[in-house]
Amino acid sequence: MQSIINGQAYLGIELGSTRIKSVLIDENHAILASGGHAWENSLVDGIWTYSLDEVWAGLQASYADLAANVKSQYGAELTAVKSIGISAMMHGYIAFDQKNNLLVPFRTWRNTTTEHAANALTEEFGFNIPQRWTIAHLYQAILNKESHVSDVSFVTTLAGYVHWKLTGQKVVGVGDASGIFPVDSNTCDYDAEMVEKFSKLTGINLTDVFPKVLNAGEDAGVLTPEGAKLLDPSGKLSVGALLAPPEGDAGTGMVATNSVAERTGNISAGTSIFAMIVLEKALSKVHMEIDMVTTPTGKPVAMVHCNNCSSDIDAWVKLFEETLGEFGAAVDKNKLYETLYRKALEGEADCGGVLTYNYYSGEPITGLAEGRPLMVRKPDSVFSLANVMRSLLFSAIGTLKLGMEILDSENVQLDSLLGHGGFFKTKGVGQKLMAAALGVPVTVMESAGEGGAWGIAILAAYHAAKAEGETLEAYLAKVFAGEEGSTIEPCSQDAEDFARFMQMYVRGLGVEKAAVELV
In this predicted model, what pLDDT tens digit does every residue of 291-306 receive, in sequence order? 899 999 999 999 998 9
Say if 2-257+448-479 and 311-444+489-518 have the same CATH topology: yes
DSSP 330-382: ---HHHHHHHHHHHHTTS-TTGGG-EEE--SS-BGGGTBSS---EEE--TTS-
CATH of domain 2-257+448-479: 3.30.420.40
Helices 451-465 and 472-479 pack at an angle, to 10 degrees, of: 120
**Closest C-alpha to 95, from 164, 33, 29, 38:** 164
pTM reported for the whole predicted model? 0.81
Mean pLDDT (the chain, rounded): 94
**Closest C-alpha to 410, from 323, 290, 506:** 290
Long-range contacts of 477-482 (CB under 8 A, 24+ apart): 477/258, 479/29, 479/258, 480/258, 480/445
Spell out the domain ranges in the chain.
2-257+448-479, 311-444+489-518
Helix (H, G, I), strand (E, B) or coil at 496: helix
DSSP 1-68: -HHHHTT--EEEEEE-SSEEEEEEE-TT--EEEEEEEE---EEETTEEE--HHHHHHHHHHHHHHHHH
Write the CA distances from 432 to 233, 341, 420, 424, integer angstroms: 44, 11, 13, 9
Is the pLDDT at 481 greater than 60? The verdict is yes
State the pLDDT at residue 256: 87
State the pLDDT at residue 284: 87
Helix (H, G, I), strand (E, B) or coil at 492: helix
- 121, 363, 250, 187 alpha-carbon torsion, rounded to 10°: -10
Q: What are phi and psi of 454, to 5 degrees?
A: -70, -40
Is the pLDDT at 65 greater than 70? The verdict is yes
Which of 32-36, 119-123, 366-370 is predicted with the least confidence, judged by mean pLDDT? 366-370
State the pLDDT at residue 30: 92
**Closest C-alpha to 215, from 240, 246, 193, 194:** 246
Question: Which CATH number is 311-444+489-518's, of 3.20.20.70, 3.40.50.2300, 3.30.420.40, 1.10.1740.10?
Answer: 3.30.420.40
Q: Please check whether residue 170 is in contact with residue 164, taking contact to mean a CB–CB distance below 8 angstroms.
A: yes
State the pLDDT at residue 288: 85
In this predicted model, what pLDDT tens digit does every residue of 254-289 receive, in sequence order? 898 888 988 889 898 888 898 999 998 888 899 988
Q: Please check whether residue 9 is in contact with residue 42, taking contact to mean a CB–CB distance below 8 angstroms.
A: no
Distance CA 71, CA 79 (A): 11
State the pLDDT at residue 435: 94
Q: What are phi and psi of 220, to 5 degrees?
A: -125, 20
State the pLDDT at residue 337: 97
Distance CA 249, CA 14 (A): 7
Is the pLDDT at 507 greater than 60? The verdict is yes
Which of 123-132, 223-232, 238-247, 286-295 is predicted with the least confidence, judged by mean pLDDT? 286-295
CA angle 302, 305, 310 (to 5 degrees): 145
Is the pLDDT at 227 greater than 80? The verdict is yes
10: β partners: 25, 83
pLDDT band at 431 (very low <50, low <70, confident <90, very high): very high
In this predicted model, what pLDDT tens digit does every residue of 169-218 receive, in sequence order? 999 999 999 999 999 999 999 999 999 999 999 999 999 999 999 999 99
Is the pLDDT at 482 greater than 80? The verdict is no
Position 438, amino acid? L
In this predicted model, what pLDDT tens digit does every residue of 436-467 receive, in sequence order? 999 989 998 875 556 789 999 999 999 999 88
Q: What are phi and psi of 368, to 5 degrees?
A: -115, 125
Q: Which residues contact 507 (CB under 8 A, 6 or more apart)?
A: none
Q: What are phi and psi of 50, to 5 degrees?
A: -125, 140
Evaluated on CA atoms 107, 110, 112, 116, the torsion sign reads positive
Q: Percentage of the chain surpassing pLDDT 70? A: 99
| Strand pairing category for 154-156 and 94-96 | antiparallel
Is the pLDDT at 484 greater than 80? The verdict is no
Distance CA 93, CA 152 (A): 11
Distance CA 379, CA 105 (A): 45
Q: What are phi and psi of 298, to 5 degrees?
A: 95, 5
Distance CA 485, CA 442 (A): 10
pLDDT band at 311 (very low <50, low <70, confident <90, very high): very high
